[in-house]
């Protein structure tokens, strides 16, 4: 399953959140979708207090790479 288009346009946490939830919608089984939606929400709660712009960009890059891996799995 190919990743969603425009992943390269994700620059902010809100854009990343929307991108990841859209990726979850494309997963085949409801139980898998629920699992990854929950994981996305938990990850955002864990990183909510992050304020270093460089670190935020690292998190965004890693999250997109992980999403691509899940979508291709």
In this prediction, residue 21 carries a pLDDT of 93
Query: Residue 9's pLDDT is what?
Result: 84
- Say if residues 40 and 21 touch (Cβ distance below 8 Å): yes
Going by pLDDT thresholds of 50, 70 and 90, the confidence category of residue 15 is very high
Distances (CA, A) of 63 to 8, 71: 12, 12
Please report the pLDDT score of residue 3 as a whole number: 55
pLDDT tens digit string along 35-63?
999 999 999 999 999 999 999 999 999 99
Q: Tell me the chain's radius of gyration from C-alpha atoms.
A: 12
Q: What does the pLDDT read at residue 73?
A: 78
């Amino acid at each position: 399953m190919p990743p969603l288009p425009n992943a390269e346009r994700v620059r902010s946490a809100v854009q990343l959140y929307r991108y990841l939830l859209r990726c979850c919608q494309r997963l085949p089984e409801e139980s898998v979708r629920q699992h990854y939606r929950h994981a996305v929400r938990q990850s955002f709660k864990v990183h909510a207090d992050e304020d270093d712009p460089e670190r935020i960009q690292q998190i965004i890059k890693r999250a997109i790479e992980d999403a691509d891996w899940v979508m291709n799995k």
